[in-house]
Amino acid sequence: MRSGSRRPERSEHDRAGHHPTALRHSAIRKSAPLRTLAALGALGMLALTGCGSTTIDDIAVGPDKGWQSAFRDARNSGASPIEGSRHLTLSWSRPIGGPLAAATTIGPDGQMFVTTRTETDCVGKPGTTGTIFSFQMPTGRKRFCNALGPDAIAAASAVDGLSNVYVGDDGAVFSFNALGQPRWRTPVAGVPVSVQFTAESTVLSVSQSGQVDILNRQTGDREVSTYQVLGDPDFLAHPDVARPPDGQGIGDCAVGGPQCPVANVSALDRDSGRFYLTAWRPGAPAASLVALHYADKKVTQDWSVDILADGSATSPALSADGKTLYVGDNSGRLLAVDTADGHTEWTQQLGFTPRGGISVHDKLLIPSGDDGHLMALRDNGNGVDIAWERKDLTLRGRPVQTGGDTGYVVVPMGDALNLLTFETTTGKTVASAPLPGAQGSTVATAIGPEGEVVVAARIGELFAFTPDR
Protein backbone atom coordinates (compact mmCIF):
# COMPACT_ATOMS: atom_id res chain seq x y z
CA MET A 1 0.00 0.00 0.00
CA ARG A 2 1.03 3.59 -0.44
CA SER A 3 2.30 5.64 2.44
CA GLY A 4 -0.42 7.46 4.32
CA SER A 5 -3.02 4.76 3.64
CA ARG A 6 -4.14 2.19 6.15
CA ARG A 7 -3.48 -1.36 4.98
CA PRO A 8 -6.83 -3.17 4.91
CA GLU A 9 -7.04 -6.20 7.14
CA ARG A 10 -7.48 -9.59 5.58
CA SER A 11 -10.98 -11.00 5.79
CA GLU A 12 -11.96 -14.26 7.42
CA HIS A 13 -12.02 -15.83 3.93
CA ASP A 14 -8.56 -14.41 3.11
CA ARG A 15 -6.96 -15.72 6.30
CA ALA A 16 -8.55 -19.15 6.16
CA GLY A 17 -8.10 -19.50 2.42
CA HIS A 18 -11.81 -20.19 2.03
CA HIS A 19 -14.22 -18.93 -0.57
CA PRO A 20 -17.84 -18.53 0.71
CA THR A 21 -18.81 -21.58 -1.36
CA ALA A 22 -16.23 -23.67 0.42
CA LEU A 23 -17.59 -22.45 3.76
CA ARG A 24 -21.10 -23.48 2.75
CA HIS A 25 -19.87 -26.91 1.68
CA SER A 26 -17.98 -27.41 4.93
CA ALA A 27 -21.08 -26.38 6.89
CA ILE A 28 -23.05 -29.15 5.18
CA ARG A 29 -20.74 -31.82 6.58
CA LYS A 30 -22.42 -31.91 10.00
CA SER A 31 -22.90 -35.08 11.93
CA ALA A 32 -26.27 -36.78 11.68
CA PRO A 33 -27.30 -35.93 15.28
CA LEU A 34 -26.57 -32.25 14.69
CA ARG A 35 -28.59 -32.31 11.48
CA THR A 36 -31.49 -33.95 13.36
CA LEU A 37 -31.38 -31.36 16.14
CA ALA A 38 -31.26 -28.55 13.59
CA ALA A 39 -34.25 -29.96 11.76
CA LEU A 40 -36.26 -30.33 15.00
CA GLY A 41 -35.34 -26.77 15.97
CA ALA A 42 -36.48 -25.48 12.61
CA LEU A 43 -39.80 -27.34 12.94
CA GLY A 44 -40.32 -25.90 16.40
CA MET A 45 -39.69 -22.39 15.15
CA LEU A 46 -42.06 -23.02 12.26
CA ALA A 47 -44.78 -24.05 14.67
CA LEU A 48 -44.24 -20.96 16.81
CA THR A 49 -44.28 -18.48 13.96
CA GLY A 50 -46.80 -20.14 11.67
CA CYS A 51 -44.70 -19.02 8.70
CA GLY A 52 -43.88 -21.89 6.40
CA SER A 53 -43.15 -20.12 3.11
CA THR A 54 -39.82 -18.70 2.00
CA THR A 55 -41.56 -16.64 -0.67
CA ILE A 56 -42.74 -14.07 1.89
CA ASP A 57 -40.65 -10.92 1.60
CA ASP A 58 -40.07 -9.59 5.11
CA ILE A 59 -36.89 -7.71 4.17
CA ALA A 60 -37.42 -3.98 3.78
CA VAL A 61 -35.77 -2.16 0.92
CA GLY A 62 -34.15 -0.12 3.63
CA PRO A 63 -33.90 3.34 5.18
CA ASP A 64 -32.95 6.38 3.17
CA LYS A 65 -29.28 5.98 4.03
CA GLY A 66 -26.25 4.82 2.15
CA TRP A 67 -25.97 4.70 -1.65
CA GLN A 68 -28.64 2.17 -2.57
CA SER A 69 -28.18 2.14 -6.36
CA ALA A 70 -25.88 3.63 -8.98
CA PHE A 71 -27.07 7.22 -8.44
CA ARG A 72 -28.15 6.72 -4.81
CA ASP A 73 -31.90 6.35 -5.26
CA ALA A 74 -34.61 5.32 -7.69
CA ARG A 75 -34.80 8.85 -9.12
CA ASN A 76 -31.06 8.82 -9.97
CA SER A 77 -30.76 12.06 -7.99
CA GLY A 78 -27.03 11.70 -7.28
CA ALA A 79 -27.72 13.53 -4.02
CA SER A 80 -27.80 12.39 -0.38
CA PRO A 81 -30.08 13.87 2.33
CA ILE A 82 -27.28 13.41 4.88
CA GLU A 83 -25.59 16.66 5.86
CA GLY A 84 -22.17 16.49 4.29
CA SER A 85 -19.06 17.24 6.27
CA ARG A 86 -16.80 20.07 5.14
CA HIS A 87 -13.80 18.51 6.82
CA LEU A 88 -12.81 15.08 5.50
CA THR A 89 -9.83 12.85 6.26
CA LEU A 90 -8.58 10.02 4.04
CA SER A 91 -9.33 6.91 6.07
CA TRP A 92 -7.97 4.25 3.72
CA SER A 93 -7.35 3.39 0.09
CA ARG A 94 -6.92 0.05 -1.61
CA PRO A 95 -6.49 -1.40 -5.10
CA ILE A 96 -9.21 -3.72 -6.37
CA GLY A 97 -7.13 -5.81 -8.75
CA GLY A 98 -8.94 -4.72 -11.91
CA PRO A 99 -10.48 -1.62 -13.51
CA LEU A 100 -13.82 -0.15 -12.46
CA ALA A 101 -16.62 0.82 -14.82
CA ALA A 102 -19.82 0.80 -12.72
CA ALA A 103 -20.84 2.77 -9.65
CA THR A 104 -20.10 1.75 -6.07
CA THR A 105 -23.16 0.97 -3.96
CA ILE A 106 -23.24 1.24 -0.16
CA GLY A 107 -25.65 -0.45 2.23
CA PRO A 108 -27.28 1.16 5.28
CA ASP A 109 -24.53 -0.24 7.52
CA GLY A 110 -21.70 0.99 5.27
CA GLN A 111 -20.98 -2.28 3.46
CA MET A 112 -19.71 -1.49 -0.08
CA PHE A 113 -20.07 -3.38 -3.35
CA VAL A 114 -18.08 -2.99 -6.60
CA THR A 115 -17.71 -5.05 -9.77
CA THR A 116 -14.55 -5.44 -11.82
CA ARG A 117 -12.79 -7.72 -14.31
CA THR A 118 -9.70 -9.55 -13.10
CA GLU A 119 -7.07 -11.89 -14.55
CA THR A 120 -7.49 -14.37 -11.70
CA ASP A 121 -10.53 -15.58 -9.83
CA CYS A 122 -11.25 -15.12 -6.13
CA VAL A 123 -8.92 -17.98 -5.14
CA GLY A 124 -6.09 -16.94 -7.45
CA LYS A 125 -6.78 -19.29 -10.37
CA PRO A 126 -5.67 -17.66 -13.68
CA GLY A 127 -8.34 -16.67 -16.18
CA THR A 128 -10.25 -13.51 -17.05
CA THR A 129 -13.41 -13.23 -15.00
CA GLY A 130 -15.86 -10.69 -13.70
CA THR A 131 -15.86 -10.26 -9.95
CA ILE A 132 -18.03 -8.66 -7.29
CA PHE A 133 -16.18 -7.49 -4.19
CA SER A 134 -17.64 -6.31 -0.90
CA PHE A 135 -15.70 -4.17 1.58
CA GLN A 136 -16.38 -2.81 5.05
CA MET A 137 -16.46 0.93 5.53
CA PRO A 138 -14.29 1.48 8.63
CA THR A 139 -11.13 -0.23 7.34
CA GLY A 140 -11.62 -1.30 3.73
CA ARG A 141 -11.46 -4.91 4.88
CA LYS A 142 -12.75 -7.38 2.27
CA ARG A 143 -16.04 -8.96 3.22
CA PHE A 144 -16.31 -11.31 0.25
CA CYS A 145 -15.29 -11.94 -3.35
CA ASN A 146 -17.48 -13.84 -5.82
CA ALA A 147 -16.92 -14.68 -9.48
CA LEU A 148 -19.27 -13.40 -12.19
CA GLY A 149 -19.16 -13.30 -15.98
CA PRO A 150 -16.50 -11.03 -17.56
CA ASP A 151 -19.04 -8.41 -18.72
CA ALA A 152 -20.34 -7.89 -15.18
CA ILE A 153 -17.73 -5.13 -14.86
CA ALA A 154 -20.29 -2.88 -16.59
CA ALA A 155 -23.30 -4.20 -14.68
CA ALA A 156 -25.35 -2.23 -12.17
CA SER A 157 -26.01 -3.20 -8.57
CA ALA A 158 -28.46 -2.26 -5.82
CA VAL A 159 -28.45 -3.04 -2.09
CA ASP A 160 -31.41 -3.43 0.29
CA GLY A 161 -31.96 -2.86 4.02
CA LEU A 162 -30.15 -6.03 5.09
CA SER A 163 -27.22 -5.47 2.69
CA ASN A 164 -28.41 -8.11 0.26
CA VAL A 165 -26.96 -7.09 -3.07
CA TYR A 166 -28.59 -7.48 -6.49
CA VAL A 167 -26.14 -7.30 -9.39
CA GLY A 168 -26.13 -7.83 -13.14
CA ASP A 169 -24.22 -10.78 -14.55
CA ASP A 170 -23.62 -12.13 -18.05
CA GLY A 171 -27.13 -13.28 -18.94
CA ALA A 172 -28.58 -13.01 -15.43
CA VAL A 173 -29.46 -11.05 -12.34
CA PHE A 174 -27.65 -12.40 -9.27
CA SER A 175 -28.44 -11.81 -5.59
CA PHE A 176 -26.04 -12.40 -2.68
CA ASN A 177 -26.53 -11.86 1.02
CA ALA A 178 -24.22 -9.71 3.14
CA LEU A 179 -21.79 -12.63 3.56
CA GLY A 180 -21.57 -13.28 -0.18
CA GLN A 181 -23.71 -16.41 -0.14
CA PRO A 182 -25.88 -16.78 -3.27
CA ARG A 183 -29.61 -16.22 -2.72
CA TRP A 184 -30.82 -16.68 -6.33
CA ARG A 185 -29.83 -16.20 -9.96
CA THR A 186 -32.41 -15.44 -12.66
CA PRO A 187 -31.50 -15.73 -16.37
CA VAL A 188 -32.07 -12.70 -18.61
CA ALA A 189 -31.00 -11.70 -22.12
CA GLY A 190 -27.96 -9.44 -22.05
CA VAL A 191 -26.19 -7.80 -19.10
CA PRO A 192 -28.34 -5.75 -16.69
CA VAL A 193 -26.94 -2.21 -16.75
CA SER A 194 -29.81 -0.94 -14.59
CA VAL A 195 -31.03 -2.36 -11.27
CA GLN A 196 -33.58 -0.48 -9.17
CA PHE A 197 -36.23 -1.18 -6.52
CA THR A 198 -39.91 -0.52 -7.26
CA ALA A 199 -42.50 0.77 -4.78
CA GLU A 200 -43.53 -2.87 -4.28
CA SER A 201 -39.93 -3.72 -3.24
CA THR A 202 -39.42 -5.80 -6.35
CA VAL A 203 -36.28 -5.60 -8.48
CA LEU A 204 -36.47 -3.70 -11.76
CA SER A 205 -33.77 -4.99 -14.13
CA VAL A 206 -33.00 -3.59 -17.59
CA SER A 207 -30.28 -5.11 -19.76
CA GLN A 208 -28.23 -3.35 -22.43
CA SER A 209 -30.13 -5.37 -25.05
CA GLY A 210 -33.43 -3.87 -23.86
CA GLN A 211 -34.94 -6.67 -21.78
CA VAL A 212 -37.02 -5.41 -18.84
CA ASP A 213 -37.84 -7.72 -15.93
CA ILE A 214 -39.62 -7.26 -12.59
CA LEU A 215 -38.26 -9.82 -10.13
CA ASN A 216 -39.28 -10.93 -6.66
CA ARG A 217 -36.54 -9.85 -4.27
CA GLN A 218 -36.89 -12.93 -2.11
CA THR A 219 -36.88 -15.59 -4.83
CA GLY A 220 -35.86 -13.97 -8.13
CA ASP A 221 -39.11 -15.15 -9.75
CA ARG A 222 -40.58 -12.96 -12.48
CA GLU A 223 -43.55 -10.94 -11.30
CA VAL A 224 -44.65 -10.06 -14.84
CA SER A 225 -43.89 -11.20 -18.35
CA THR A 226 -40.59 -9.95 -19.77
CA TYR A 227 -40.88 -6.71 -21.74
CA GLN A 228 -38.64 -5.99 -24.74
CA VAL A 229 -37.85 -2.29 -25.32
CA LEU A 230 -36.77 -3.03 -28.90
CA GLY A 231 -39.78 -5.24 -29.57
CA ASP A 232 -40.10 -9.01 -29.64
CA PRO A 233 -38.42 -10.86 -32.52
CA ASP A 234 -40.71 -12.43 -35.12
CA PHE A 235 -39.68 -16.09 -34.96
CA LEU A 236 -42.23 -17.06 -37.62
CA ALA A 237 -40.67 -14.67 -40.14
CA HIS A 238 -37.14 -15.42 -38.98
CA PRO A 239 -37.14 -18.94 -37.47
CA ASP A 240 -33.36 -19.22 -37.59
CA VAL A 241 -32.61 -16.00 -35.71
CA ALA A 242 -29.94 -16.65 -33.09
CA ARG A 243 -29.79 -15.12 -29.65
CA PRO A 244 -26.90 -12.62 -29.59
CA PRO A 245 -24.08 -12.99 -27.06
CA ASP A 246 -25.03 -11.56 -23.66
CA GLY A 247 -22.21 -9.03 -23.75
CA GLN A 248 -22.84 -7.78 -27.29
CA GLY A 249 -22.34 -4.00 -27.50
CA ILE A 250 -21.50 -3.63 -23.81
CA GLY A 251 -18.35 -1.66 -24.64
CA ASP A 252 -20.47 1.04 -26.31
CA CYS A 253 -22.59 1.62 -23.20
CA ALA A 254 -20.04 3.91 -21.51
CA VAL A 255 -20.47 6.51 -24.27
CA GLY A 256 -24.07 5.82 -25.24
CA GLY A 257 -23.06 4.45 -28.62
CA PRO A 258 -25.40 2.79 -31.13
CA GLN A 259 -24.12 -0.74 -30.45
CA CYS A 260 -25.52 -0.50 -26.90
CA PRO A 261 -29.31 -0.11 -27.26
CA VAL A 262 -29.93 0.68 -23.57
CA ALA A 263 -26.85 2.31 -22.12
CA ASN A 264 -27.97 3.82 -18.83
CA VAL A 265 -29.58 3.34 -15.44
CA SER A 266 -33.35 3.88 -15.51
CA ALA A 267 -34.97 6.55 -13.32
CA LEU A 268 -38.03 5.37 -11.43
CA ASP A 269 -40.97 7.27 -9.95
CA ARG A 270 -42.12 5.01 -7.13
CA ASP A 271 -45.34 6.98 -6.64
CA SER A 272 -46.63 6.46 -10.17
CA GLY A 273 -44.86 3.22 -11.14
CA ARG A 274 -43.47 4.93 -14.24
CA PHE A 275 -39.80 4.55 -15.13
CA TYR A 276 -37.65 6.17 -17.78
CA LEU A 277 -34.74 4.91 -19.83
CA THR A 278 -32.74 5.76 -22.92
CA ALA A 279 -32.86 3.50 -25.99
CA TRP A 280 -31.07 3.69 -29.33
CA ARG A 281 -33.14 1.52 -31.65
CA PRO A 282 -31.39 -0.10 -34.63
CA GLY A 283 -31.16 2.26 -37.62
CA ALA A 284 -32.59 5.27 -35.77
CA PRO A 285 -30.78 8.60 -36.32
CA ALA A 286 -30.97 9.51 -32.61
CA ALA A 287 -31.49 7.79 -29.29
CA SER A 288 -34.88 7.92 -27.62
CA LEU A 289 -36.09 8.80 -24.16
CA VAL A 290 -38.73 6.22 -23.24
CA ALA A 291 -41.39 6.21 -20.51
CA LEU A 292 -42.59 2.80 -19.35
CA HIS A 293 -45.25 2.02 -16.77
CA TYR A 294 -45.34 -0.85 -14.28
CA ALA A 295 -48.84 -1.43 -12.92
CA ASP A 296 -51.49 -4.15 -12.73
CA LYS A 297 -48.82 -6.82 -13.14
CA LYS A 298 -47.65 -5.66 -16.55
CA VAL A 299 -45.19 -3.26 -18.21
CA THR A 300 -46.45 -0.92 -20.93
CA GLN A 301 -44.97 2.00 -22.87
CA ASP A 302 -46.50 5.44 -22.24
CA TRP A 303 -44.41 7.48 -24.70
CA SER A 304 -41.12 7.60 -26.60
CA VAL A 305 -39.39 10.67 -28.04
CA ASP A 306 -36.35 10.66 -30.34
CA ILE A 307 -34.49 13.66 -28.89
CA LEU A 308 -31.00 12.49 -27.88
CA ALA A 309 -28.65 13.65 -30.64
CA ASP A 310 -25.64 11.38 -31.22
CA GLY A 311 -26.88 9.08 -28.47
CA SER A 312 -27.44 9.38 -24.73
CA ALA A 313 -24.62 10.75 -22.60
CA THR A 314 -26.16 10.41 -19.12
CA SER A 315 -28.66 8.36 -17.23
CA PRO A 316 -31.97 10.20 -16.83
CA ALA A 317 -32.57 11.90 -13.47
CA LEU A 318 -36.02 12.66 -12.09
CA SER A 319 -37.05 15.78 -10.15
CA ALA A 320 -38.35 15.29 -6.60
CA ASP A 321 -41.94 16.04 -7.67
CA GLY A 322 -41.73 13.57 -10.56
CA LYS A 323 -42.80 16.16 -13.13
CA THR A 324 -39.48 16.78 -14.91
CA LEU A 325 -36.84 14.45 -16.29
CA TYR A 326 -33.29 15.62 -16.97
CA VAL A 327 -30.91 13.93 -19.42
CA GLY A 328 -27.78 14.77 -21.40
CA ASP A 329 -26.90 13.80 -24.97
CA ASN A 330 -23.67 13.45 -26.92
CA SER A 331 -24.12 16.79 -28.68
CA GLY A 332 -23.29 18.49 -25.37
CA ARG A 333 -26.84 19.38 -24.37
CA LEU A 334 -28.72 19.08 -21.11
CA LEU A 335 -32.46 18.62 -21.66
CA ALA A 336 -35.48 18.97 -19.39
CA VAL A 337 -38.50 16.89 -20.40
CA ASP A 338 -42.09 16.97 -19.14
CA THR A 339 -42.84 13.50 -17.79
CA ALA A 340 -46.53 13.78 -18.69
CA ASP A 341 -46.00 13.46 -22.44
CA GLY A 342 -42.26 13.69 -23.18
CA HIS A 343 -42.23 17.18 -24.66
CA THR A 344 -38.99 19.15 -24.19
CA GLU A 345 -39.28 22.03 -21.72
CA TRP A 346 -35.81 23.48 -22.35
CA THR A 347 -32.34 22.64 -23.58
CA GLN A 348 -29.00 24.05 -22.49
CA GLN A 349 -25.67 23.76 -24.31
CA LEU A 350 -22.98 22.98 -21.74
CA GLY A 351 -19.90 23.48 -23.88
CA PHE A 352 -18.85 19.89 -23.15
CA THR A 353 -20.36 16.42 -23.26
CA PRO A 354 -21.81 15.39 -19.92
CA ARG A 355 -21.05 11.83 -18.95
CA GLY A 356 -22.61 9.43 -16.46
CA GLY A 357 -25.27 11.30 -14.54
CA ILE A 358 -26.71 14.55 -13.23
CA SER A 359 -26.88 15.46 -9.54
CA VAL A 360 -30.33 16.96 -8.85
CA HIS A 361 -31.25 18.64 -5.56
CA ASP A 362 -33.91 21.36 -5.10
CA LYS A 363 -33.88 22.14 -8.85
CA LEU A 364 -30.10 22.67 -8.77
CA LEU A 365 -28.49 20.53 -11.48
CA ILE A 366 -24.78 19.65 -11.54
CA PRO A 367 -23.71 17.56 -14.57
CA SER A 368 -20.94 14.96 -14.51
CA GLY A 369 -18.17 14.36 -17.01
CA ASP A 370 -14.65 13.27 -17.79
CA ASP A 371 -13.83 16.67 -19.22
CA GLY A 372 -15.55 20.05 -19.20
CA HIS A 373 -15.79 22.04 -15.99
CA LEU A 374 -17.72 22.17 -12.74
CA MET A 375 -20.96 24.10 -13.12
CA ALA A 376 -24.50 24.28 -11.74
CA LEU A 377 -27.77 25.13 -13.47
CA ARG A 378 -31.04 26.19 -11.89
CA ASP A 379 -34.39 25.04 -13.28
CA ASN A 380 -36.58 28.11 -12.68
CA GLY A 381 -39.81 26.49 -13.86
CA ASN A 382 -39.96 28.47 -17.10
CA GLY A 383 -36.45 27.76 -18.32
CA VAL A 384 -32.94 27.35 -17.03
CA ASP A 385 -30.25 29.68 -15.69
CA ILE A 386 -26.57 29.07 -15.05
CA ALA A 387 -26.37 29.34 -11.26
CA TRP A 388 -22.56 29.41 -11.29
CA GLU A 389 -19.62 27.82 -13.06
CA ARG A 390 -15.99 27.12 -12.25
CA LYS A 391 -14.04 26.98 -15.51
CA ASP A 392 -10.86 26.58 -13.47
CA LEU A 393 -11.99 23.15 -12.24
CA THR A 394 -11.97 20.29 -14.77
CA LEU A 395 -14.35 17.40 -14.11
CA ARG A 396 -12.97 13.94 -13.52
CA GLY A 397 -16.14 12.10 -12.64
CA ARG A 398 -19.52 12.60 -10.98
CA PRO A 399 -20.24 15.51 -8.63
CA VAL A 400 -22.65 14.70 -5.79
CA GLN A 401 -24.70 16.91 -3.50
CA THR A 402 -25.53 16.45 0.18
CA GLY A 403 -27.53 18.26 2.81
CA GLY A 404 -26.11 21.46 4.22
CA ASP A 405 -25.35 22.90 0.74
CA THR A 406 -22.22 20.75 0.47
CA GLY A 407 -20.98 18.98 -2.63
CA TYR A 408 -18.03 16.79 -3.62
CA VAL A 409 -16.28 16.28 -6.94
CA VAL A 410 -12.95 14.89 -8.17
CA VAL A 411 -10.81 17.39 -10.10
CA PRO A 412 -7.15 17.48 -11.19
CA MET A 413 -4.85 19.82 -9.28
CA GLY A 414 -1.33 19.84 -10.62
CA ASP A 415 -0.29 16.25 -11.26
CA ALA A 416 -2.75 14.73 -8.79
CA LEU A 417 -6.47 14.06 -8.56
CA ASN A 418 -8.15 15.69 -5.59
CA LEU A 419 -11.51 15.34 -3.88
CA LEU A 420 -12.89 18.87 -3.80
CA THR A 421 -15.48 19.97 -1.24
CA PHE A 422 -17.56 22.92 -2.47
CA GLU A 423 -20.60 24.99 -1.62
CA THR A 424 -23.44 23.95 -3.88
CA THR A 425 -25.10 27.37 -3.71
CA THR A 426 -22.07 29.32 -4.96
CA GLY A 427 -19.49 26.82 -6.25
CA LYS A 428 -16.98 28.19 -3.75
CA THR A 429 -14.14 25.82 -2.80
CA VAL A 430 -14.28 24.73 0.84
CA ALA A 431 -11.45 22.19 0.99
CA SER A 432 -9.53 19.65 -1.06
CA ALA A 433 -7.81 16.34 -0.33
CA PRO A 434 -5.53 14.36 -2.66
CA LEU A 435 -6.25 10.84 -3.91
CA PRO A 436 -2.75 9.37 -3.50
CA GLY A 437 -1.52 7.82 -6.74
CA ALA A 438 -4.86 8.13 -8.57
CA GLN A 439 -4.71 8.78 -12.32
CA GLY A 440 -7.10 9.40 -15.19
CA SER A 441 -10.70 9.71 -14.08
CA THR A 442 -13.17 8.33 -11.56
CA VAL A 443 -16.28 6.28 -12.17
CA ALA A 444 -18.25 7.19 -9.04
CA THR A 445 -18.42 9.21 -5.86
CA ALA A 446 -20.80 7.84 -3.24
CA ILE A 447 -21.94 8.96 0.22
CA GLY A 448 -22.07 6.49 3.11
CA PRO A 449 -24.70 6.33 5.87
CA GLU A 450 -22.57 8.42 8.26
CA GLY A 451 -21.47 10.96 5.68
CA GLU A 452 -18.41 9.01 4.51
CA VAL A 453 -17.28 9.80 0.97
CA VAL A 454 -16.10 6.91 -1.23
CA VAL A 455 -14.39 7.58 -4.55
CA ALA A 456 -13.87 4.82 -7.14
CA ALA A 457 -11.04 5.45 -9.65
CA ARG A 458 -11.29 3.84 -13.08
CA ILE A 459 -7.81 2.37 -12.73
CA GLY A 460 -9.24 0.14 -10.01
CA GLU A 461 -8.80 1.76 -6.63
CA LEU A 462 -11.11 2.86 -3.81
CA PHE A 463 -10.57 5.89 -1.56
CA ALA A 464 -12.63 6.35 1.61
CA PHE A 465 -12.87 9.67 3.43
CA THR A 466 -14.25 10.02 6.96
CA PRO A 467 -16.02 13.16 8.25
CA ASP A 468 -14.32 15.14 11.00
CA ARG A 469 -17.32 16.04 13.11
pLDDT tens digit string along 57-97? 445 565 568 999 999 999 999 999 999 999 999 999 999 99
Query: What is the reported pLDDT for 45?
Result: 39
Q: Would the pLDDT of 105 be above 50?
A: yes
Nearest to 108 by CA among 159, 176, 179, 181: 159
Average pLDDT value for residue range 262-280 = 96
3-state class (DSSP) for residue 252: helix
Q: What is the DSSP string of 234-245?
A: -TTT-TTPPPPP
Average pLDDT value for residue range 220-241 = 81
Could you tell me where the DSSP H helices lie in 313-439?
none
Q: Would the pLDDT of 435 be above 90?
A: yes
Spell 385-409 as b/e; 16+ CB within 10 A means b: eebbbbeebbbbbbbbbbeebbbbb
| Mean pLDDT taken over the chain | 88
Query: What is the reported pLDDT for 235?
Result: 58
Query: What is the reported pLDDT for 234?
Result: 60
Top pLDDT among 457 and 234 is at 457
Q: Would the pLDDT of 16 be above 80?
A: no
Listed range (37-46, 155-164, 378-387) with the worst mean pLDDT: 37-46
Query: What is the reported pLDDT for 65?
Result: 81
Top pLDDT among 156 and 30 is at 156
What is the distance between the alpha carbons of residues 345 and 349, in angstroms, rounded to a whole number?
14
Ramachandran bin of 296, using left for φ above 0, alpha for ψ from -120 to 50, beta for the remaining angles? left
Average pLDDT value for residue range 173-189 = 98
What share of the chain in percent tops pLDDT 90? 80
Top pLDDT among 127 and 337 is at 337
- Phi/psi of residue 41, nearest 5 degrees: -65, -40
5-15 pLDDT, tens digit per residue, is 444 444 444 43
DSSP bridge partners of 190: none
Query: What is the reported pLDDT for 367?
Result: 98
What share of the chain in percent tops pLDDT 70? 84
Per-range mean pLDDT, top range of 62-66, 121-125, 359-363: 359-363
19-64 pLDDT, tens digit per residue, is 433 333 333 333 444 344 344 344 343 333 333 334 444 455 655 6
Average pLDDT value for residue range 288-293 = 97
**Cβ(442)–Cβ(454) below 8 Å:** no
Q: Kindly indicate the confidence band of residue 165, based on its pLDDT and cuts at 50, 70 and 90.
A: very high
Within a 13 Å sphere around the CA of 308, how many CA atoms are in the beta-carbon half?
35
The single-letter code of the amino acid at 196 is: Q
Q: Would the pLDDT of 465 be above 60?
A: yes
Query: What is the reported pLDDT for 244?
Result: 82
Query: What is the reported pLDDT for 5?
Result: 45
